[in-house]
């Protein structure tokens, strides 16, 4: 199987983390979340991880150059050489330009945007539960009395999943990410999929989008938009 280097874009609640994990398992490549690798770099005490920790300890946002450095370090590891799926990076055009530089000498970058109407995102996020112990979303579970399917921990709603906060998060996402989607949109390896479908149908559309983006001569699959 040829190398797959994939970026999954999408607003909060689009299901990009779930789909990234599913596809990464199927392809045997790492799913790389910026939140996970940031925590890992801080815990490992790497030079750039220490820089990030100092920034976060001051209550500031981690800058583009620090995030770019952390992602570059992670993509340079042997397990990412056959391919990877990025979830949460890039978030800005500056990060996207830097990622193009990191990708020099690798297989082309495929970018898929999971598009979901705002009303559906608000509904999903309002019903979303996370585990207090492992911090993972409880996919498909809406009853907080049910233990976490992963670790058995207690499920609760995130403090920032109430409607007012959700709408503000979506406004911030669209303001910051619209330029990023436009940055990629004209590339032959960019696709958009309908994320308002059932998870299995989104997974099928994502697989079809990846296959078509890797072979531009292929026909347009159902649920995939250029």
What residues contact residue 65 under an 8 Å CB cut-off, 6+ apart? none
Instruction: Kindly name the residue from 39, 72, 136, 169 that is annotated as catalytic.
Output: 169
- Give CA–CA dist 152/195, Å, rounded: 28
| Interval 8-64: pLDDT, tens | 999 888 999 889 999 999 999 999 988 888 888 888 888 888 888 888 788 777 888
112 is a domain residue: yes
Distance of CA 193 to the CA centre of its chain: 14
In a domain, 184, yes or no: yes
- Nearest alpha carbon to residue 51 among 72, 33, 69: 69
pLDDT in tens, 95-137: 999 999 999 999 999 999 999 998 888 887 777 788 888 877 7
Residues facing 86 on adjacent strands: 7, 32
**Cα dist. 76→6, 62, 183, 197 in Å?**
15, 21, 24, 35
In this predicted structure, what is the pLDDT of residue 72?
93
Catalytic residue flag (residue 74): no
Structurally, how many domains does the chain consist of?
Answer: 1
From 53, 123, 136, 158, active-site residue: 158
- 191 catalytic? Reply is no
Q: Which is higher by pLDDT, 144 or 6?
A: 6
Q: What is the pTM of this model?
A: 0.78
| 39 annotated active-site | no
Q: Which of 16, 27, 51, 191 is catalytic?
A: 16
Q: Which domain holds residue 191?
A: 4-29+82-116+176-225
Residue 169 is a catalytic residue: yes
Report pLDDT for 225: 62
Report if residue 191 sits inside a domain. yes
Tell me the β-bridge partners of 87. 8, 33
List the CATH number of the domain containing 207: 3.40.50.300
| Region for 114 from its dihedrals, namely left if φ exceeds 0, alpha if ψ lies in -120 to 50, beta otherwise | beta
Other C-beta atoms lying within 10 Å of the C-beta of residue 225? 12
Residue 170 has pLDDT above 90, yes or no: no
* Catalytic status, residue 136: no
Residue among 22, 74, 128, 191 flagged as catalytic: 128
Asked whether residue 104 is assigned to any structural domain, the reply reads: yes
Quickly count: other Cβ atoms within 10 Å of residue 96's Cβ.
18
Poorest-confidence range of 42-51, 74-83, 152-161? 152-161
Catalytic residue among 53, 91, 123, 136: 91
């Amino acid at each position: 199987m040829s190398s797959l280097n994939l970026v999954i874009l999408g607003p909060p609640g689009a299901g990009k983390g779930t789909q990234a994990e599913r596809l990464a398992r199927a392809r045997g490549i790492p799913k790389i979340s910026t939140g996970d690798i940031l925590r890992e770099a801080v815990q490992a005490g790497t030079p750039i991880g220490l820089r990030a920790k100092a920034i976060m300890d001051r209550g500031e946002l981690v800058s583009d150059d620090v995030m770019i450095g952390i992602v570059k370090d992670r993509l340079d590891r042997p397990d990412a050489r056959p391919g990877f799926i990025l979830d949460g990076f890039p978030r800005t055009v500056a990060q996207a330009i830097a990622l193009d530089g990191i990708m020099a000498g690798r297989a082309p970058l495929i970018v898929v945007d999971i598009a979901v109407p705002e009303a559906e995102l608000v509904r999903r996020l309002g019903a979303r539960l996370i585990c207090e112990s492992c911090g993972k979303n409880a996919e498909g579970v809406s009853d907080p009395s049910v233990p976490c399917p992963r670790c058995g921990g207690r499920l609760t709603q995130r403090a920032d999943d109430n409607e007012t906060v959700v709408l503000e998060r979506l406004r911030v996402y669209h303001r910051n990410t619209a330029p990023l989607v436009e940055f990629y949109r004209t590339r032959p390896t960019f696709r958009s999929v309908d994320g308002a479908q059932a998870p299995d149908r989104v997974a099928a559309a994502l697989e079809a989008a990846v296959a078509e983006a890797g072979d531009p001569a292929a026909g347009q699959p159902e649920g995939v938009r250029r």
